[in-house]
Every structure is written in C-alpha cells, then in structure tokens.
Structure 1
Amino acid sequence: MALLEVSDLRVSFDTPDGTVRAVRGLSFTVDRGRTLAVVGESGSGKSVSTQTITGLTRGAEVSGTAFFDGTDLITADPATLRRIRGAQIGMIFQDPLSSLHPLYRVGWQITEMIQAHDQDVTRSAARRRAADLLGLVGIPRPAERIDDYPHQFSGGMRQRVMIAMAMALDPALLIADEPTTALDVTVQAQVLAVMRRLQEEFGTAIILITHDLGVVAEMSDEVIVMYAGAVMERAPRREVFYRNHHPYTRGLLASLPAQSGHRLTPIPGSPPSLIDPPAGCPFAARCPHVFDRCRAETPPLTDVYGDLRHQSACWLDHSGREAVAS
C-alpha cells in the first residue's frame, strides 16, 4: 500500500463570477522514499491540490479521497489534520519570507513547532534539535544563527530554514511547493542536495511542485503533468522526457532553452477559464494536432506504449494519429 493514495480529487471555489473548478479528477500515489513531481503552468491546480490534501483550502467544495497511511485526509476532522500536519506531513511553501513570522527568531519558530507536536520535549531539547537541523541543512554557525530573525537570512538561507522546519519531526511525506523559486542556480543546487540527503537519511516521500523541468529531471521518480486542473500525462521521469505522448507535455519541453542557441518555441494561446471550461479536451484550443473529436469528447487517462505506468489523456494513438474507436 502506498503512503499516500489520492483518488478522483475535485476542488471547487465559489466566486462572484461563478464556480472555479480548480482541480478536476486528480488521482495519484506516492510511495515511501520516492519523489513525485507535479508540473504545469500557473493556475493548473498544482498547489491547490496539495493544500487541499492537508486541509488548507478553507471554503472550498472538495470531493474524492486522499488516504495517508490509512487516514482519509479529506474527511478527517481538524484535530486529526493538526496532528498530522508538521509531524507526519511537512510542507515547504513557495515564499519562505511570508511563511516565516518576521517578528520571531527562526530558532523560536522551529522550537515552537517541535513542542506543539511533542509536548514531552523540553524547551532546551527542542532548541538543540532546532540548531542541529539548521546545521543539517547547511546553515553555518547554527548555534548563533538560531537567534537571528528571518530578514537576517538570504533567500536561499530562508528556504533552508523552511526545509529544517519541515523536517523537524522526520515526517513521512514532504510537500515542497516551488522550493527553488527565485534562487540562483548555485543556491538551488544546494537546496536540492539538502532535500535529497534528507530523503536518503529518513526515507521520506516527496511531492515536488515546480515549473522547472530541470529540477524535475534531477529530483523526480515519477511525473504528473497538469493542465486546467486535470492530469494530462503521468509517467516515470525518463518516459516524460524521452518518450512523452501528450502534446502539452511536448509543448512544455519544447519551450525549454536549448544549448544550441535556437529560439524558444512557446505554446500559443492561454489556458482556458476554469469557471466555464470548454467541452472536450482542455488543451484543444492550443494543440497543434487537434481534430473534431478533441473538441467534443474529453479524453480519459489511458495507458500508452503498452506501459501500465505511463498514461496520457489524449485521443492521439502512439504514432500521433487519431485513436481508433473501440
């Protein structure tokens, strides 16, 4: 049994303009010690899906299941979610400066979190644990820096503080939402190295949300490609990069900078409205291979290339032609 099993997750928000269907039928599993990358454009539902799993989307209409180590997080009561968050599921948010309280020293914030989940730990023991964690994630002179405020750290150092806080209680699952955003490549490499080292040491499962396909290539075991709140393709990392099937996945890869100096190839158009999504395939309006069936029927996730681990929501067959109706 997988550590986390999400099935048919659907998340909607009521707005003055209508109901936003932010996540539409998301399903995936994550095993211990493995990394699942979730990629896609902004607004594709990546962050909303993981925030919903951890009970952080108040006011949303949610359906589906998300079993974490046998507990359905979707129907869990607030007390159960508070007990699981932090202790068993650690989270690294996209902006560490807004996630850390500016008026409290970083050591106090880590210590407070440790004691909130383990009341048997003394204040001094929690503080020692906090200093050890700061050293583990590569912050120099941790015994001194523990008493600094968030603004006294660089962006990369703040991100390391967030990793230290997320890993304070050795969680079974780490959700990292754009952990390398706005970091230079050197600091980015250091942050990723810290995450890999922690995963190897504790056997932690990781859900990595990112726009950076280079990070995906370096970190992930499996990849989910999301678009307009739905999964377009799901496959092992190597399959996504070298044997992809969905035109949207190909468009994302084609938009990467090439070492040969060729111009970037952007995906034309914009994602559809999630208040009034179009019929058929959500990517139809931007797809270079679109045909009539794409605009009329929504393609289900089906196995491609004869591989049960590789699924694509597209009416094209393996050769790029229209699939034969069964």
Structure 2
Amino acid sequence: MALLEVRDLKVSFDTPDGAVRAVRGLSFDVEAGQTLAVVGESGSGKSVSTQTITGLTRGATVSGTAYFDGTDLITADQSTLRHLRGARIGMIFQDPLSSLHPHYRIGWQIVEMIRAHDSVISKKDARKRAAELLTLVGIPRATERIDDYPHQFSGGMRQRVMIAMAMALDPALLIADEPTTALDVTVQAQVLNVMRRLQQQFGTAIVLITHDLGVVAEMADEVVVMYAGTVMERAPRRDIFYRNHHPYTQGLLASLPTRSGERLTPIAGSPPSLISLPKGCPFASRCPHVFDKCRTEAPPLADIGPRHQSACWLPVQASEAIAS
C-alpha cells in the first residue's frame, strides 16, 4: 500500500449559476520518498484536489477516497485532520505572506506550531529546534533572525521559512502548492535544492503542484497532467517529456522556451466552463488533432504502456508520429 492513495476523488461547489465540478475522478498514488508532480493550467483542479484531501475545502461536495497511511482523509473528522496536518502532513503554500502572520515573529510562529503537536516539548527546546530548522533551510544567522518579522525577509527567505515550518515535525508527506511561482530563477533553484535535500534526509514523500515544467523536470518521479478537473495523462517523468501521448501534454511542452530562441507555441483557445462541460473530451475544442468521436464521447484514462495512462482516443502510434 502506498503512503497516499487517492481514488476517484470528485469535488464540486454549488454556485448560483450551477455546480462547479472542480475535480472529476482524480486518482493517484504517492510512495514514501517519491515526488509526484501535478501539472496543468490555472483552474485545472490541482490545488483544490490537495486542499480537499487535507480538509481545507469547507462547503464543497466531496466523494471518493484518500488513504494516508491507512486513514481515509475524506471521511476523517476535523480532530484527526488537525492532528495529521503539520505533524504527518506538511504544507507549503504559494504565497508565504498569506500563511505567515505579519504581527508575530518568525520564531514564535514556528515554536507555536511545534508545541501545538508536541505538548511535552518546552518553549526553550522548541525555539532551539526552530533555529536548527532555519539553519537547515539555509537562512544565515538563524539564531538572530529567528526574532525577525515576516516583512523583514525576502520572498525566497519567507518561502524557506515555510519549508522549515512544514518540515518541523519530520512529516511523512509534504504538499507544496506552487512553492516557487513568485521567486526569481536563482532563488527558485535554491528553494528546490532545500526541498530535495530535506527529502533525501528524511525520506519524505512530496506532492508538488506546479505549472512550471522546468520544476517538474528537476524534481518529479511521476507526473499527473490535469485539465478541466480531470486527468489527461499520468506517467513517469521521462515518459511525460519523451514519450508523451496526450495532445494537451504535447501543447504544454510546446509552450516551453527553448535555447534556440524559437517562438513559443501557445495552446489556442480557453479551457471549458466547469459548470457546463462539453459532452466529449474536455480538450476537444482546443485540440489540433480532434475528430468526430472526440466531440461525442469522453475518452477513459486507459493504459498505453508500463505505468503510463492517457485519456485520448488518438492511437499511440499516431500520437508518437505527431510528437516526433
């Protein structure tokens, strides 16, 4: 049994215009020490799916299962989820300023988080642990900077503080939601190195939510490609980059900058409304290889190779010819 097993996760929100089907039948596994990247455009359901399995989408209609080390997170009560979040499941959000309280010192916030899950530890020992964590994630003069406020840190340093907080109790699973989006390339590389080093040291599993395929190439073992709330393709990293099948995956890769300076190739059109989804494949209106069946029947997520699945009616041989 994998550390995290998600099966047929569905999440919807009621609105005056109708139900928004944000996640539609998501399934994946994450093994201990493995990094799973979840990629896709904004609004594809990446963040909603991980927020749901940690109990952070109140008011949503949820079905499916998400077993973390034998506990179903979907049916777990709030007390169980509060115990797991922070202690066994660490979380890093996209904007550290929205996660760090601006009126409290960095060290105080880390100490309070540690003591919330470990009532035995003293404030002195928790503060010592906080300083060790800040040093571990590469913050210089940690024993001095532990008493600084969030606004006194740069964006990259604040993100490192969030990593330190997330790793404070050596969680088995780390969920990182767009952890490098607001950072420049140099700082981004430093943050990814910190995450990778901590993973190697503690054997932590990582679910990495991102739209940056460069980050995926550097960090991921397995990749889930999402579009319009559902999985388009799921495969090991090398297959996604070199033996991909789905036209949406190919479109994402074609939009990457190249060293040769060629013009970027954007994906034409816009994603469909999650309130009134099309009858067939959700990508049909934007797909350059669409044919009649795509508009009338939604393709299932089917095996096309070892640990490789794709939701597309396009034959594998035809897809390989297009990709080449």
TM range (shorter): over 0.9
CA distance in structure 2 between the partners assigned to 1:31 and 1:41 by the alignment: 25
Distance 1:119 1:278 in 2: 52
Partner of 1:324: none
Distance (whole Å) between structure 1 residues aligned to residue 317 and residue 249 of structure 2: 15
Report matched runs for 1:58-77 at 5 Å.
Answer: 58-77=58-77
Aligned ranges 1:138-217 → 2 under 5 Å:
138-217=138-217
The alignment partner of 1:130 has SS state of helix
Matches of 1:134 and 1:17, distance apart in 2: 47
Unaligned runs of 5+ in 1: 322-326
CA apart distance, 1:258: 1.2
Give per-residue Cα distances to partners, 1:139-166, cap 9 Å, x unaligned.
0000010000000000000000000000
Q: Distance in 2 between matches of 1:46 and 1:315?
A: 24
Q: Equivalences for 1:70-149 in 2 at 5 Å? A: 70-149=70-149
Aligned partner of 1:309 in structure 2 is: 307
**AA in 2 matched with 1:179:** P
SS in 1 for 2:307: strand
Q: How many residues align?
A: 319
In 2, Cα distance between equivalents of 1:258 and 1:164: 34
Cα distance in 1 between the residues matched to 2:165 and 2:193: 16
2:285 counterpart residue number: 285
The letter for the 2-side match of 1:85 is R
Partner amino acid, structure 1, of 2:317: S
SS in 2 for 1:181: coil
Local SS of the residue matching 1:124 = helix
Aligned residue for 1:34?
34
Alpha-carbon distance, 1:79 to partner? 0.3
Quote the Cα distance in structure 1 between the aligned partners of 2:276 and 2:129.
50
**Helix, strand or coil at the partner of 2:74:** coil
In the alignment, residue 126 of structure 1 is paired with which amino acid? A
What amino acid is aligned across from residue 29 of structure 1 in structure 2? D
1:274 aligns with 2:274: yes
Instruction: For 1:222-261, list aligned pairs within 5 A.
Output: 222-261=222-261
Q: Deviations over 1:241-261 (max 9, x none)?
A: 000000000000000111111
CA distance in 2, matches of 1:291, 1:261: 33
Say yes or no: does 1:45 pair with 2:58: no
CA distance in structure 1 between the aligned counterparts of 2:33 and 2:101, rounded to whole angstroms: 30
Equivalent position amino acid for 1:117 in 2: H
In 1, Cα distance between the equivalents of 2:81 and 2:30?
19
What fraction of aligned residue pairs are identical, expressed as a percent?
A: 81
Amino acid at match of 2:124: S
Question: How far apart, CA to CA, are the structure 2 residues paired with 1:41 and 1:233?
Answer: 14
Q: Which amino acid aligns with 1:152?
A: Q
Q: CA deviation at 1:226?
A: 0.2
TM-score (norm 1): 0.97
* CA distance in structure 2 between the partners assigned to 1:156 and 1:178 by the alignment: 13
1:169-218: per-residue Cα shift (whole Å, max 9, x none)? 00000000001011111111110000000000000000000111000000
1:128 partner amino acid: K
Distance 1:205 1:133 in 2: 18
Q: Which amino acid aligns with 1:317?
A: P
Q: Which residue of 2 aligns with 1:320?
A: 318
Residue identity opposite 2:118 in structure 1: D
TM-superposed CA distance for 1:93, in Å, is 0.3
The two structures, once aligned, show a CA RMSD in angstroms of 0.6
Question: CA offset at residue 313 of structure 1?
Answer: 0.2
Gaps of 5+ in 2: 320-324
The structural deviation recorded for 1:308 is 3.0
Provide Cα deviations, 1:95-150, integer angstroms capped at 9, x if missing partner: 00111000000100000000000101111100000000000000000001000000
Counterpart amino acid of residue 313 in structure 2: W
Give the distance between the partners of 2:292 and 2:225, measured in 1 at CA.
24
Q: Which amino acid aligns with 1:33?
A: G
Q: Normalising by the residue count of structure 2, what TM-score does the alignment of the two structures yield?
A: 0.98
Deviation at 1:320, TM superposition (A): 2.1
